[in-house]
Amino acid sequence: MKEDPLERLDRLENEKKKGGNGAKAAMIALIAAVVALGGALAYIWTSKASLVKDLNIEKQDLTEQIIALQGDYESLTSDYENINVQLDSSREEVAQLVERIQQTEATNRAKMREYEKELGTLRTIMRSYIVQIDSLNTLNHQLTAEAAAARQDAANSRKANEELTQQVESLAGQVAAGSVLKARGLRLEAYNSSDKVTDRSSRVVRLLTTLSLVENDLAPKGPVRVYVRVKDPEGNLLTNANSAPFDFQGAGVLASASREVDYAGKEVELSIYLNDIPEFHKGIYTVEAFTEQSQLGAAEVLLR
């Protein structure tokens, strides 16, 4: 059946209105999507900017900590060469760390974590330097105190030797002054296994006493035996298998060692070794030299 022209016009008009409404709805949906996307992009940008700001703050804080540690290393001083060498190496590591962190972007979080670990390690190393320096300083103070005590002991020993010398001289005054042998240059030294002078107690293998019998035309001529008595820091007499007693002004006295020389009235130099002593300790060792008629003198040596 043929469609009425008026009805056809109405139908076309209605379809046109429906098509316009659909396009309008699509446009609204598209605008809404664009707005939503813009909001999402704005949120992401704002979040990223905030994160970058936080990372820059963290980098600045870490940089300041490393620079502060660098200042601590610069101010740390030592009187010990081996520690100073290690300090110089650590200072160079800190300087390199400062340079690296300044050249690294704050957003490189892996590098930032690596720098934090290096900072912790360098702090630990610095604490170990401080402990070492404090320990060595304490030891130096202790050794200084020990040296002062040793000097006091030496002073006491000299005083005791002076008193003993006075006693011996008083007894010797009963003998004709011109016939008494005297000595000069009495010295006690310690030697190591290489036959070199040392003051290290752990390296000593023998002690050597040297002296000179002075010229005396009035003294008896012929063989003269010189005896030495060597005492350790505790006052104990040092002896070995060759040690033997001698008669000193009528009393039996044990000698550490002795040696006989031919005295003809002229000055005679002589040396007396003391070997085969098991061990030596730190402190002052003393030696007293005698003939059977008189004491020739005393000397001492400090072993560390």
Single residue among 79, 112, 134 that ends a domain in this structure: 134
For residues 213 and 95, state if they share a domain: no
For residues 121 and 203, state if they share a domain: no
Rounded Cα gap, residues 85 and 88, in angstroms: 5
Q: What is the pLDDT of residues 53-106, one digit of tens each?
A: 877 888 888 888 888 988 888 888 878 888 888 888 888 888 888 888 888 887
The region of weakest confidence among 103-117, 168-182, 196-210, 266-280 is 168-182
CA-nearest of 233, 235, 256 to 246 is: 256
Q: Count of domains in the chain? A: 2
DSSP assignments along 153-206, one per residue:
HHHHHHHHHHHHHHHHHHHHTTS-GGG---EEEEEEEEE-TTS-B---GGG--E
Q: What is the pLDDT of residues 286-303, one digit of tens each?
A: 999 999 888 999 999 999
| 120 part of a folded domain | yes
For residues 17 and 130, state if they share a domain: yes
Q: Which helix (H) or strand (E) holds 109?
A: helix 109-172
Mean pLDDT across 207-233: 94
For the chain, what's the residue count?
304
| 143 part of a folded domain | no
Strands 244-248, 183-191: parallel, antiparallel or unpaired by DSSP?
Answer: unpaired
Rounded Cα gap, residues 111 and 96, in angstroms: 14
For residues 191 and 122, state if they share a domain: no
Write out the residue range of the structural domain in which residue 222 sits. 180-303
Which amino acid is it at 129?
Answer: Y
The region of weakest confidence among 170-179, 192-201, 254-263 is 170-179
Beta sheet of 295-303, edge-to-edge order: 257-263, 222-231, 283-290, 295-303
Mean pLDDT across 40-47: 62
| pTM of the full structure | 0.43
Mean pLDDT across 145-163: 79
